[in-house]
Structure 1
Amino acid sequence: MKIQFGTVSISNETADKFNFYISVFMNGHVGEIEGTAKIKGNKATYSAYTDSSLYDDPYCRMTFTNNGKSIQVKESYACSSWHGAAATFDGKYAK
């Protein structure tokens, strides 16, 4: 799946989880993250501890919403540990 500023790949999908890899390039900043998201209904969630005191909530939390022809990704603030300050994993990724 591609969007203008990056790609998301989904693999090993089962009824309750999938593996993902996201790579972005925005405004001269890059980011990469990979993990396993747990599926519930048309949404899937991912959470990883950042080991940083910079955030009130040190967990990177991502939500993947299946909208049929696309997947909407939404990240929490702590996910910025995986990308530059001017980049984000947030976005609509076409299937």
Structure 2
Amino acid sequence: MEENQRLNTENTGWGPLAVQTMCDETRGIAITGGSKEMTLGDLMDLTPKELMSKVILEEEVFETWYSGRTVLLGDAAHKVNPAGGRGL
């Protein structure tokens, strides 16, 4: 079954070709804040290809933002790119 699932994703928006396309399109993006100039391509070159993948960022719309004394505010109320990690 696992082999069958892998084969079904090879030519989809989530398979290896899609990952390579995503990498090709984003290689030149600069990474800021470090001690030396780097791009996403530099990081990709250091990362084994089998560890690269695309992820789904879920999106939900709720009828209310509160329940009793609990309220969703700030980053809890919207999706955040997991690669952001800036705590803003």
Do the structures match in fold with TM over 0.5? no
Greater share of strand residues, 1 or 2?
1
Question: TM bucket by the smaller chain?
Answer: under 0.3
- Normalization by structure 1: what TM-score? 0.24
Larger Cα Rg: Structure 1 or Structure 2?
2
- Normalization by structure 2: what TM-score? 0.25
Greater share of helix residues, 1 or 2?
2
